[in-house]
Structure 1
C-alpha cells in the first residue's frame, strides 16, 4: 500500500543545507537531521493563512495563548503529564536553549557534564562559555546503552560542576533512557545540587513498541532543578522555522533562564509559533502514520546493514537516525568509504566516535533502498 511518505520531493540545494553539501555529485545526502517528508497539512494551512494575511509583524510568544495550550495538550496526549502553562518558556531552538542555560547556570571556569558519543553542538557547548567539559561515556549493558553512572556521580561531586546536559533520547544511537536510569541521574543531581538540562527534541519519535519516554520535568527529584528542552521541529519536520520551548517548573530557574537570554536571543518567530501549534493540534494522525513508516524503514535498514560485511547497526528505539559501526571495514577514512559509494552520512568523528557513521532514514523507501544498494557494492 502506497504511503504519503513514499512521495519523492525534489529539494532545491539553495534552501537545503543537507542537499547543498553534495550538490553536483552523485552522493545521496543522509546526514543532517531533517526529513524528506512534507509537514502535516495543518502546518501548511496555518502558514498559508499567515501568508494570505500578508502582515509579518511582532508577536510576543508569551501572548500566544494558543501555542501554550497546544503544548499542554500535546504533553498530556503523548507523555501523560499535564503541566501548568507558566512552566513553558519559548525560544528560537533547542541549541540556543542549552547555550542560554550555560549562561544562566554556570560561570567561566566551571564545568559542565555531557555524555559521549553525542550531538556535536552539545559536545562543543563548553567552548562558547569558557567551561570545562566532563564527558560521561555511554556504556553497553544487558539493556543496551546507558550512562556510566559511577563516572557521572564522580563528576557531579566536583564543586566546580553545577550543570549537566543530557540528550534523551540519545543522539546518535537512538536509546531512550529508562525511568530507572533517569531516577539514578535525578538522585545524583539532587545530592550535588546539579541543574539538569535535558535535550528531548526526539522524544516524540519513539519507534520501539513498549518503550516509553520519561520527560525530565515529570520526575519528582528533578522538578526543582531541571530545564527540559522540547520542540515540534524534528517530529513534524519544521526545524527550519526555528522554534522550541523549555519546561522549567522552578520559578527561580525559569527567571534566571529568561534573564540569560536578554539582549542575545530573539523571540521565537511567528511562523514557527503558528506551525508548532498547528502541528500539535492537527498533526496527530500524520504523526501516527509517520512513526509506522519510520519503524518500517528502521527495520529494513537494520536487516540490510547486518548482512553487510564490516558494518553493524544499533537497534534504534527512537529518532530517525541509524548509528552504524564501520570499524570492521578496516579502512583509514570511513567517511570516504561511504562517499565513494555515493552515500553521505554524518561522520562518527563529529560525535566523538571515529569509525562510526550516522544515517538519516527519514526518507521515502525507494531512496533508502538506493542507499542500501550502493553500500552493498
Structure 2
C-alpha cells in the first residue's frame, strides 16, 4: 500500500532502535496472548498460545508447509490464477504443481470467480499431499464463503490432503472473513493457517508472519521443516507486530473505509469509461483483476499476451501486474493495485482511458 504505517508502529520501532542492542531475540509471550485474543474477538476462534509458530514471511511459510506435508515427487494442488509464489513453491521443494483453474462468470462487465469442485476433485491423485488455498484470494479478491470452505475442507479431509490457507489479507476485507480452520474441529486439525500484519499495516519489510497449527503433530512437522532453513523473526519484527495488533486498528478501519471508496471508484470508472475491460469487485484485498482481452480485438490472439504486457506501461505510463504471472488462466488479464492516494489513482485511471481511446482512433 502507498500509505504511511500507523504512528504507534513507527514510535515503537524508534523506541526499540534507541535501545541500541540488536542481538538475537527470544519469542514474545505477550504477542502470543494478543494474537489468541484477536482470533477469539474477530472470529470466535479459540486457539492456544502454543498453536502459533512465528516465521519471517508468508512465502517462507508456504514453502515450509509444502516440505512438511509432502516428499519429492508429491503433488500440490493450486487454484489459478493465483499469487505467483504459489506457483513456484512446489518446484522449489522438488514437488509437482497441479493447477486447477477457477471458473468465472461475467455480468454487466463484472467478473465473479468460483471454485469448480468437480475439477478440483478430479485433479486429486494418490500423490496429492497439500492444497494451497488463497483466502481472501489474490488476485480476484474473492472471500470464500463458509459453504465453499466446508466443501473444499471436507474434500481434503476425505483424501488426506493438508490445507495450507494463506489468509494474509484477512484484515483487509469489505465483507466478513471466515478462517478455514473455524469451519469444523476436524478441518482445524488438517489446516495450517498463515497470517501476518505485513499487508494489513503496510510493514512487509519488518519480516514477520505467523502460522496457526492446532494439530500438534502437524505443527511439529512444520517446525522441523523450517529448522536450519528459515531464519528466526528479528527483534524489529516482533516490535512492529506487537504495536500493530495492540494499537493499529483505528488506523486500519480508516484505511478499509478509504479502500472501499477507492474500489467503488475503480469499478464505476471502468464501467463508465472503459466498459470493454471487464473487472472484479473485490470482497477483500486492495486488488482489482482486469480482463483486457476485448479492447484490442484486432490483435491476433496468439500474440495478444506479448502485445498487452507493455501497452499500459508504454502508452499510459501505468504499471500493472502482468496476468500471465498468475498462471495460464491469467493470460490477457492484469492486476491493478488501488491502495494509493485518490488523486494518484484517478491520474492512473485517466491515463489508461486516454491510452485506450488513442488506440481506438489510430486503428
Which of 247, 264, 287 in structure 1 is aligned with 2:252? 287
Which of 300, 325, 349 in structure 1 is aligned with 2:291? 325
Q: Distance in 1 between matches of 2:200 and 2:11?
A: 18
Question: RMSD across aligned C-alpha pairs, in angstroms?
Answer: 1.4
Which of 280, 301, 324 in structure 2 is aligned with 1:314? 280
- Retained in 2: the 8 A contact 1:78–1:204? no
Q: Distance in 2 between matches of 1:79 and 1:218?
A: 8
Flag structure 2 segments of 5+ consecutive residues without an equivalent: 355-363
- Retained in 2: the 8 A contact 1:60–1:267? no
- Retained in 2: the 8 A contact 1:205–1:291? yes
Cα-to-partner distance string for 1:175-209 (whole Å, 9 max, x where unaligned): 000000000011101111110000010111112xx
Q: Distance in 2 between matches of 1:192 and 1:132?
A: 17
Range that drifts further, 132-141 or 89-98 = 132-141
For residue 164 of structure 2, give the secondary structure of its aligned residue in structure 1. strand
Which of 183, 196, 199 in structure 1 is aligned with 2:163? 196
Instruction: Give the match for residue 372 of structure 1.
Output: 349
Question: Does residue 362 of structure 1 match 2:336?
Answer: no
Question: Does residue 248 of structure 1 match 2:248?
Answer: no
Instruction: Give the match for residue 308 of structure 2.
Output: 334
The Cα of 1:141 is off from its aligned counterpart by 5.6
Instruction: Give the match for residue 133 of structure 2.
Output: 166
Q: Distance in 1 between matches of 2:44 and 2:256?
A: 19
- Retained in 2: the 8 A contact 1:232–1:279? yes
The Cα of 1:232 is off from its aligned counterpart by 0.5
Instruction: Give the match for residue 358 of structure 2.
Output: none
Flag structure 1 segments of 5+ consecutive residues without an equivalent: 1-34
- Retained in 2: the 8 A contact 1:67–1:274? no
Question: Does residue 47 of structure 1 match 2:7?
Answer: no
Once superposed, which parts of structure 1, at least 4 consecutive aligned residues long, lie more than 6 Å away? none
- Retained in 2: the 8 A contact 1:136–1:147? no
- Retained in 2: the 8 A contact 1:71–1:277? no
The Cα of 1:335 is off from its aligned counterpart by 2.2
Aligned length: 337
